[in-house]
Structure 1
Amino acid sequence: MECEPFEPDPDDTGVGIGKSHYFFIFPLLNRVSELFRRLVMFVKPAYFVKSAVALAVLSANYTLAAEESSVTLPTIVVTSGFRGAALQEVPTSLTVVDEQKITERNADHLEDLINLAPNVNSSSGASHAKYFQIRGIGERSQFIGPINPSVGVIMDGIDMSNIGGAATMMDAQQVEVLRGPQGTLYGANALAGLINIRSNDPTTVTSGDIEATLGTYNTRRLSAAVGGPINDSVGYRIAFESNKSDGFTENKYLNKDDTNNIDETLFRGKLRIEASDYQMIDLTAFYANIDNGYDAFSLDNSRTTSSDEPGHDRQETSAFAAKSTWTGNDDFTLETSLSYSESDLEYGYDEDWVYDGYSGGYTAFDNYIRDTKTTTAEVRLISAPGAELFDGSTTWATGVYYYNRSTDLLRVYTYDDDFTSQFDTTRISAYGQLETKLSEQYILTTGLRIEHAESEYKDNDGATSNPEELLLGGRLALEYLANKNTTLYGLISRGYKVGGFNADSSLPANLQTFDTETLWNYEIGTKGNWLNNQLQTQIALFYQQRDNAQIKGNRTITNSGGGTSFFDYVGNAENAYSYGLEAEVQWRVNSSVSLFGSLGLLDTTLEDADADFDGREAAQAPNYQYTLGANFSHGRGWFSGVDIEGKDEFYFSDSHSQQSEAYTLLNARAGYKTKDWSVTLWGKNLTDEDTYIRGYYFENEPSDAYTIKHRYTQLGAPRQIGMTAKMTF
């Protein structure tokens, strides 16, 4: 299939971007055409059979589904802004995954949902994905150096950006994924975007559920939640989950199949207090005890390992959040919030991946123990109805925000003395946003955030750093309400990420520090409701320019035992940009059939004449990814569903040229439910495709005396089949 490229008017020079680009819309449309051609050519030879099977299942289910009266899609309210707003009214590219979708995917962790959001990815190198990338921007790992996240993760008002292993779906109500910089709302921790997780709140009547899952690889998950009123003014909600699995690795040296296991216990408690007619107080307590194994790499890139010291990925987190909402003034609502989390993290692995004495190779273990404390506080004023500015045309919001994170690190490595470091960062911000109704059809949103950031770093190698800087972010969005069902918008937003210090004293002086990164995002989009709100669509085109883009590199050194060790560092690229498309659709065909799909197209480029990645795509940035699925109600309680998800190949790292492989996964589910209980039989990756969630390229083969670089990959989950039973009351 051939697609004709879009060509610009040669007399229209447009706006210079990079080395040889006209105004971004022309290369964007040209690239969209090319990426669509590649996607079609990829699917046809390699996955036509699977797609045909899925479509056959869709057709069969549609035939079996009883034709009933049409129903509308529910209104989805986005809560991550200053005010709750319907998804179709928010002028930015975002994905909302509601409780029903979380249940349909049998999602236990945030990583189980990421593929539903266009141009959003995750990387592992541990038992769970801890790092997320939006439009090709985001961290992929952490070793000795401190990091400031590019993608913010918030759960019930608690900042989880550096402790993402605890971002579980226990009793989750909704996940919101905002793409592009969120400089006004969240500042430095949301350069590339934000992931906001909300759990169920206390209810006015007693209700709850108990859920049990059994699956392959000795998977056992038990969760329960209950909530209701304590008295007329206090409500509660508590949730508990135990999640265990042997994992997908078999260690042939130790003759064990659970060295990459999952062992997680989680608890959450919530109180909602009506302190007066004007004041509501929400309290949240969260606890996670994670004791997972980490034994995922082998010399032959299989799920069969030979390590004699399997690693671990442990985390114990205690967190608390409090929010007060006061409406006792006619002009504004006063919101105050406070959160605190403390996490003990321990991440270690068998560096040589084999047992002592294997082919005369070396043996080493690398262990990182972190104690992280995060505190946030915020005071926010939001205009009340009737208190708008400029003759009643403009609503407003303003506030101040405080953020502090301190991390103590102890690294214990076989061939080095113990390494210790302390890192503390403090940010104080002031922000404001106006939403002006210019006319019946036009709404202008303007936002600005000023943030003062100060960090302090020191380690036992004698290195110190005390950067201090003033940062600026914001947004300008214009909405056009074409009619009651269709909104078009244009958006310019600016985000930032603070500079920092590389914790490696052996680096040359010019690589010891790196500068602040800024991101300009230009976006146009449309959102619509069709067919009497049975069909909802979102489409966005974007272009992003990164200034002083922070790019992680690594180098390897030979240690005294003969093996090689990694050292990560961050540097600034001369130029980086990306552009692409994001589209989503939800269609409630009738009361028995609903369809959904998403598509992300992405082109990224890094430019630095002195770097190996010059002119190349960014890491963890596939050119396309998509989902397509359907859910069916067959009557008398029977239901089923099927979906496919696919992703293009991508670079594992900016420091080498190794890539993953493109894939398409087939998932399905079927079950029976009544008002009070349900049973679901589910399967993930039913065709047992190999997927790759982390990759390295270095010398780690003792048979060639560690002189030749090889590609090493961590495989994603293979085929999984299980059953989930749930009782509600």
Structure 2
Amino acid sequence: MRRVFTIGRLGILAATLLAPLVSNTVFASEEEPIQLDSVVVSAQKFRTDKQDVPSNISVVDSKTMQDSGVDNLEGLSALAPNIGISKIDTYSTQVVFRGIGGMANMNKVWNINMDGVAIPYVGLDTFLDVDRVEFLRGSQGALYGRNTHAGAVNIVTKDPGSSANGNVTLNYESFNTLKARAAVGSPINDVASYRMAVAYKRSDGYFHNEYYDKNDTNNNEQFTARGKVLLQADDKSKLTLGMYADKYESAFDSYGPANGDVTLNTENNRRGHNDGYLLSPTLTWEKDFGAVNVTSISNYSRSNYNYLQDWDFSRFDIMYSTYDEDFNTLSQELRFNGGSDEFKWMFGLFGLWERIDTKTNILFGDDAAASGMSPGDHAQQNSTVNSYIGSSFGQIVYRLFPSIELTGAVRFDYERKTLDWKNKTNLDYVPTGKLDMSKDWLALSPSASIAWLFAEKQRVYGSIARGFKSGDFNNVMVEVPLVEHAVDPEYTTTYEVGYKGRLLENRLELNAALFYIDWDNMQVDIESTEGMFNPYQKMNAGRAHSSGMELEARALIMPGWEVFASLGYMFQYEFDEFRKDATTDLSGKKLPFTNAYTVGLGTVFRTESGFYAGVDSSISGRKYLVEDNSLKQNAYMLLNAKIGYEKDNWDVYLYGRNLLDERYATTAFSGAKRAGEPLVVGVQCGYTF
């Protein structure tokens, strides 16, 4: 039975966490003033204080991730307002920013960047040896280009360090879950240094298959490795070679029976699989020529994602599918920047070649008659999509007056895509064929903002920005009529006003924002009379908008005691135009995978004697799991806690996630829901040097 939280629970938690801040008692020592550390980000493609960026950015650093025990995007989203997560399987994660981004995609839409590169890989949210994660909300096309119309996630990994350092961490959790991590960094000589990190995870998974009466039918295993070699002869030049490798294997048995409640029980007769790998080297060169700084980022990525999924979600052998995709990408970015505190400028060039090979197979089993088909019926597609992208972009930051700062940016993108597609089937009434297509698109993405620095470390700002999602072919479909028409890019325009400030002698950081987003030329599914297996065709036939507000605060009560809180609320988030078929008009329906509100509260407390305690809670408001709003997830609350002892170089913790054991859905597919993580308890020990 789903547990229902009360406002009383939240009030008690809030009072516990925030009372010390508003009381008349001052915990800080008069001899030693305390203040929050500044947070440096690279959201504007150069390093700057988070509070100086004219947009609302949430940042989670490595210390916060360690304290909270977060090691994936799903966990991090609870710490950032108006960020939603659609967890499709054990590894695939779709991010929804302020209501934008929750629609079904054709090929993957990558808006996750690692060390300045958008890497096409579904398992990228394994936060191994990460320095910080930045959530950029709203249209980001001016600096980041395609597929950032909703927002972007920047992951920045750790550098080697100026002296030998390292850590080892071992966790054991519920569901026979083992996690092991290790990292080491050190100078090699006066010029070179290195850092290496490895991680291993295995788990039985938290689902129980009633057909097999087993608890490990969604078991998974993952191995991740990362390395960096840094060459730096002086302060003006740096060359970094990074390597990221990952491989995972998982069963695919995580959806409960169709049209049922959210459950940890499945009935699938086919356990399925969900596997992937990545190899991605990156070469970064940074050079200070005095008046001009140059940054070059070169990357090659090879990744694979494949699965077998039971499509009828039952103990009967009716229908299942397999899918396989290979990504090969080669990208080059070259940036020039310079100026002074009063006038900063940047100009950049970007090029990308991307090849996607996909194979879809839809098959019918021994019980196919239940769906009007025959055993052995099947349909398949094989396709290759090549993309060629050339871009130029620039930005200026101009201090017009001591208290007025103007920022302007613009990006021009040219993209050409080619498609080589063919299908085959044993069904006489499904036409087969080959398609050889090409398409070109142009996109202009400007942004502008003005900020008023009305007091020391306080500012208000207003901004407008445009972003786009790339045009595409519907190549993953198995029927000719659903593939032979491309869709054009879709666009968003984000309007935002906000406040950023540090108060109480830098003990309190407070950020607030209001936003409105127009979403035009949406790529949506429209019913097609020519489709058999999935009778919907992608078309640019939708419009939507969203609006809302965000609040974030963090406060340092005393050395070792920090409190943080966030609130996101969506005023509106709905389709303005979307006629699904001749009789179904979805105008006015809520955008899927968008929480009506999000609330986060937490605190961490540690003493010089070594005692550590942390607790955080998040409330996710109601969200709809499908476009017609026929399936929904009601509001739920997740409560996490951690207690431990930290002494010298050793630490040990006992922790729990989802302590209220809430049942909630992360996504839905054909009426079947996938449950989120239930109550988990674990123990962690670590060594740092």
Question: How high is the TM-score relative to the length of structure 2?
Answer: 0.89
Tell me how far 1:157 sits from its aligned partner: 2.9
| Corresponding residue pairs, total | 650
Give deviations 1:517-548, integer Å, cap 9, x for gaps.
12111110010000010000110101111221
Q: Give the structure 1 partner of residue 13 of structure 2.
A: 54
Q: Are 1:672 and 2:638 matched, yes or no?
A: no
Tell me how far 1:552 sits from its aligned partner: 4.7
Tell me how far 1:466 sits from its aligned partner: 1.2
The answer to whether the 8 Å contact 1:438/1:444 transfers is yes
Q: Are 1:376 and 2:331 matched, yes or no?
A: yes
Instruction: Name the CA distance, whole Å, in 2 between partners of 1:686 and 1:534.
Output: 30
* 3-state DSSP of counterpart to 2:656: strand
Instruction: Name the CA distance, whole Å, in 1 between partners of 2:629 and 2:14.
Output: 39
Once the two structures are superposed, the pairs formed by residues 492-511 of structure 1 within 5 Å of their partners are 492-503=464-475, 504=477, 506=479
* 3-state DSSP of counterpart to 1:184: helix
Match for 2:176 among 202, 218, 222?
218
- Give the aligned residue type for 1:695: A
Give deviations 1:106-147, integer Å, cap 9, x for gaps.
1222222112111111112211342111111115655xx434
Q: Give the structure 1 partner of residue 318 of structure 2.
A: 363
Instruction: Name the CA distance, whole Å, in 2 between partners of 1:692 and 1:196.
Output: 26
Q: Give the structure 1 partner of residue 427 of structure 2.
A: none
**Change beyond 3 A, Cα 1:598–1:58:** closer
Instruction: Name the CA distance, whole Å, in 2 between partners of 1:598 and 1:693.
Output: 21
The answer to whether the 8 Å contact 2:482/2:538 transfers is no
Instruction: Name the CA distance, whole Å, in 2 between partners of 1:59 and 1:406.
Output: 51
Q: Give the structure 2 partner of residue 513 of structure 1.
A: 486
Match for 1:606 among 564, 568, 575?
575
Instruction: Name the CA distance, whole Å, in 2 between partners of 1:444 and 1:219.
Output: 50
Q: Give the structure 2 partner of residue 103 of structure 1.
A: 66
**RMSD in angstroms over aligned alpha carbons?**
2.6
The answer to whether the 8 Å contact 1:371/1:409 transfers is yes
Give deviations 1:540-596, integer Å, cap 9, x for gaps.
10111122122356889998xxxxx55664332442111111110001111243211
Question: How high is the TM-score relative to the length of structure 1?
Answer: 0.85
Q: Give the structure 1 partner of residue 97 of structure 2.
A: 134
The answer to whether the 8 Å contact 1:50/1:666 transfers is no
**Most deviating of 713-722 and 571-580:** 571-580
Q: Are 1:403 and 2:365 matched, yes or no?
A: no
**Change beyond 3 A, Cα 1:511–1:661:** farther
**Change beyond 3 A, Cα 1:556–1:306:** farther
The answer to whether the 8 Å contact 1:158/1:320 transfers is no
Tell me how far 1:396 sits from its aligned partner: 0.8
**Change beyond 3 A, Cα 1:557–1:242:** farther
Instruction: Name the CA distance, whole Å, in 1 between partners of 2:308 and 2:26.
Output: 54
* 3-state DSSP of counterpart to 1:438: strand
**Change beyond 3 A, Cα 1:423–1:383:** same
Match for 2:558 among 590, 594, 601?
590
* 3-state DSSP of counterpart to 1:513: coil
Instruction: Name the CA distance, whole Å, in 1 between partners of 2:189 and 2:526.
Output: 57
Unaligned ranges ≥5, structure 2: 364-376, 424-433
Give deviations 1:273-309, integer Å, cap 9, x for gaps.
0156642101100100111221012224422222222
Once the two structures are superposed, the pairs formed by residues 182-261 of structure 1 within 5 Å of their partners are 182-261=140-219
Identity of aligned residues (%): 28
**Most deviating of 228-237 and 365-374:** 365-374
Match for 2:546 among 574, 578, 599?
578
Once the two structures are superposed, the pairs formed by residues 172-191 of structure 1 within 5 Å of their partners are 172-191=130-149
Once the two structures are superposed, the pairs formed by residues 237-386 of structure 1 within 5 Å of their partners are 237-275=195-233, 278-299=236-257, 300-301=260-261, 302-327=263-288, 329-355=289-315, 358=316, 362-385=317-340
Match for 2:76 among 102, 113, 127?
113
The answer to whether the 8 Å contact 1:298/1:306 transfers is yes
The answer to whether the 8 Å contact 2:146/2:468 transfers is yes
Instruction: Name the CA distance, whole Å, in 1 between partners of 2:146 and 2:186.
Output: 37
The answer to whether the 8 Å contact 1:123/1:140 transfers is no
Instruction: Name the CA distance, whole Å, in 1 between partners of 2:658 and 2:501.
Output: 32
The answer to whether the 8 Å contact 2:482/2:531 transfers is no
**Change beyond 3 A, Cα 1:569–1:94:** farther
**Change beyond 3 A, Cα 1:163–1:193:** same
Tell me how far 1:486 sits from its aligned partner: 0.6
* 3-state DSSP of counterpart to 2:113: strand
Tell me how far 1:718 sits from its aligned partner: 0.4
Instruction: Name the CA distance, whole Å, in 1 between partners of 2:281 and 2:404.
Output: 41
The answer to whether the 8 Å contact 1:336/1:379 transfers is yes
Instruction: Name the CA distance, whole Å, in 2 between partners of 1:101 and 1:220.
Output: 21
Instruction: Name the CA distance, whole Å, in 1 between partners of 2:416 and 2:153.
Output: 25
* 3-state DSSP of counterpart to 2:222: strand
Instruction: Name the CA distance, whole Å, in 2 between partners of 1:80 and 1:556.
Output: 45
Instruction: Name the CA distance, whole Å, in 1 between partners of 2:151 and 2:645.
Output: 38
Instruction: Name the CA distance, whole Å, in 2 between partners of 1:60 and 1:84.
Output: 35
- Give the aligned residue type for 1:398: F
Give deviations 1:662-706, integer Å, cap 9, x for gaps.
111111111110131111111111010111111245xxxxxxxxx
Unaligned ranges ≥5, structure 1: 1-42, 560-564, 698-710
Give deviations 1:644-665, integer Å, cap 9, x for gaps.
1011111112255211111111
* 3-state DSSP of counterpart to 2:633: coil
* 3-state DSSP of counterpart to 1:204: coil
The answer to whether the 8 Å contact 2:495/2:517 transfers is yes
